[in-house]
Amino acid sequence: MRILVLNAGSSSLKFKLYKMPQKDILAYGLIEKISEELADIHLFFAKSNYKKQKYIKDHQKALKIVEALFLEFGILKSFEELDGVGHRVVHGGEAFSEPTIIDDEVIKVIHQMIALAPLHNPSNLLGIEAMRALNPKTPQVAIFDTAFHQSMPKSAYLYALPKEWYERYGVRRYGFHGTSHFFVSRQLAKLSNRDLKDINAISLHLGNGASACAIEGGCSIDTSMGFTPLEGLVMGSRSGDIDSELIFYLERSTKLTFKQIEWDLNHASGLKGICSDNDMRTIQERISRGDKEAKLAFDIFIRRVVKYIGGYAMLFKSLDAIIFTGGIGENSALVREHITKHLGLLGVVLDKELNKISSSLPRVIHASNSSIELWVIPTDEEDVIAKESFRLLKNLVKE
Ligand code: AMP
């Protein structure tokens, strides 16, 4: 089966073509700056790559270009050869706790979720609707970032707010990065040769967006992102947890409008707000030159992660593993070292040499006397989307 995985952003389209169930990647790429003056097209296939700049009006035209390139390079004759398309969709609300085959009703519900995810769901829908328009017969599957967290108990997902706000307006914690936390927890079970049901773990997805997740027997029981991806850890440019009263203070007492405050909390806060850089590599480089502001941003980031680990550890009867993933979690030995040095009370002991090894493979980094395993597991959300789409579609399609 040929499955195309799509991740549509407001002006971008990421794609990866899989042959399933072998999981062979036949081609992948990215189109950026859709509907701007010149879009950037990148395609990688069979150890070759193709780059071009061209005006692309919209997502439908972008998909047409991908289809034409697949034909030109002998990857597929047309999208009609696809057996399915899997889409990343950020918000599925309470309606979806599983990957779902897309039909008119599902599209309607994803539309309804736009109120909850105005930055993400409209872009995800662009990808779905563009593919439907081009290729209406090919089945499509939605994999929701929120779905994995639907297993959270009410005590984790309800805010201590008037209960009508939840009942009438859907105000609750949904959690995000679910596909990533799902993937690394399954990888951990596979790599350590244990039954998923027997593992309690804390997964740390540390990237430009960052979240922690407490996973009991393969199910999310708590996570740091909430009603939106703004809550929780300090991120590249998002504040994470704040006292919500400060928003009203700023609106009342300064010239900042609610709109500006919302923008600043999402785009001008986090690491960037403190030291003007949101990129951890740059921050580490500045720290190595003795830059105090960069070190302060780093320390605030680390402290927040440590507080979440401490809190989540207390939710379990026993804790087996802490997983590091995401661009920072996978690649920054310094971040892992600084987080784990606070975890002595839990009996965590880092192997400093193992921690320093840089690799794209999953690996352990704890010392033999550590009471909790420490794993670095590169995330692969597309892998989940391809596998879950295959699982749902294999009974529909004859190979
Ligand atoms: P992501 O959003 O998962 O792509 O992660 C992006 C973040 O990972 C950025 O802050 C990068 O600076 C950080 N990152 C990537 N590689 C490294 C590295 N080798 N050392 C430190 N941070 C890194």
Which pTM was predicted? 0.94
With respect to residue 347, please indicate whether it lies within any of the assigned structural domains: yes
Same domain as 287, residue 226: yes
Run of H or E residues at 364: strand 363-364
327 Cα–ligand 1 center, Å:
4
With respect to residue 331, please indicate whether it lies within any of the assigned structural domains: yes
Give residue for tokens 């207390």: 314
Can you name the residues that pair with 85 across neighbouring β-strands? 4, 140
* Confidence at residue 399, expressed as pLDDT on a 0 to 100 scale: 44
Residues in the chain: 399
With respect to residue 269, please indicate whether it lies within any of the assigned structural domains: yes
pLDDT tens string 154-200: 999 999 999 999 999 999 999 999 999 999 999 999 999 999 999 99
66 Cα–ligand 1 center, Å:
28
* Confidence at residue 117, expressed as pLDDT on a 0 to 100 scale: 86
The 10 Å Cβ neighbour count of residue 158 is 15
For 86, phi and psi rounded to 5 degrees?
-110, 130
Q: Which of 82, 112, 144 is the last residue of a domain?
A: 144
Same domain as 213, residue 278: yes
Active site positions, annotated: 145
Q: Whose CA is nearest to atom 18 of ligand 1?
A: 331
Q: Whose CA is nearest to atom 9 of ligand 1?
A: 279
Q: What is the C-alpha to C-alpha distance for residues 40 and 8, in angstroms, rounded to an integer?
A: 15
Q: What is the C-alpha to C-alpha distance for residues 211 and 312, in angstroms, rounded to an integer?
A: 12
- Closest C-alpha to 131, from 6, 3, 26: 6
With respect to residue 180, please indicate whether it lies within any of the assigned structural domains: no
With respect to residue 162, please indicate whether it lies within any of the assigned structural domains: no
* Confidence at residue 47, expressed as pLDDT on a 0 to 100 scale: 86
Same domain as 232, residue 376: yes
Contacts of 235 (CB under 8 A, 6+ apart): 208, 209, 210, 270, 271
Same domain as 279, residue 377: yes
* Confidence at residue 236, expressed as pLDDT on a 0 to 100 scale: 96
Same domain as 360, residue 287: yes
Contacts of 24 (CB under 8 A, 6+ apart): 18
Same domain as 111, residue 229: no
Structural domain total, the chain: 2
**The one-letter amino acid at 38:** L
Q: Which of 126, 144, 162 is the last residue of a domain?
A: 144
Same domain as 200, residue 130: no
With respect to residue 344, please indicate whether it lies within any of the assigned structural domains: yes
* Confidence at residue 119, expressed as pLDDT on a 0 to 100 scale: 81
Q: Are 352 and 217 in contact (CB under 8 A)?
A: no
Q: Are 3 and 83 in contact (CB under 8 A)?
A: yes
Provide the domain limits for residue 114. 2-144
229 Cα–ligand 1 center, Å:
18
With respect to residue 303, please indicate whether it lies within any of the assigned structural domains: yes
Please give the order of strands across the beta sheet that includes 48-54: 48-54, 39-45, 24-32, 13-19, 2-8, 84-89, 140-144, 100-101
Task: State the CATH number of the domain containing residue 62.
Answer: 3.30.420.40
With respect to residue 246, please indicate whether it lies within any of the assigned structural domains: yes
* Confidence at residue 159, expressed as pLDDT on a 0 to 100 scale: 98
* Confidence at residue 209, expressed as pLDDT on a 0 to 100 scale: 95
Same domain as 330, residue 223: yes
**Collapsing DSSP states into helix, strand and coil, what is residue 204?**
strand
Same domain as 134, residue 32: yes
| Residues in the chain with pLDDT values less than 70 | 397-399
Same domain as 200, residue 317: yes
Q: What is the C-alpha to C-alpha distance for residues 347 and 371, in angstroms, rounded to an integer?
A: 5
Query: Helices (DSSP H) in the chain: which residue ranges?
Result: 59-72, 104-112, 121-134, 154-157, 163-169, 178-191, 245-253, 258-267, 270-275, 280-288, 292-313, 326-331, 333-340, 352-356, 381-393
Give, for ligand 1, the residue of 281, 301, 377 to mutate: max count of ligand atoms closer than 8 Å to Cβ: 281
Atom of ligand 1 nearest to the CA of 284: 21
Same domain as 247, residue 135: no
Give, for ligand 1, the residue of 280, 324, 330, 382 to mutate: max count of ligand atoms closer than 8 Å to Cβ: 280
Residue ranges around ligand 1 (CB below 6 Å): 207-208, 236, 279-281, 284, 326-328, 331-332
* Confidence at residue 397, expressed as pLDDT on a 0 to 100 scale: 56
Same domain as 201, residue 122: no
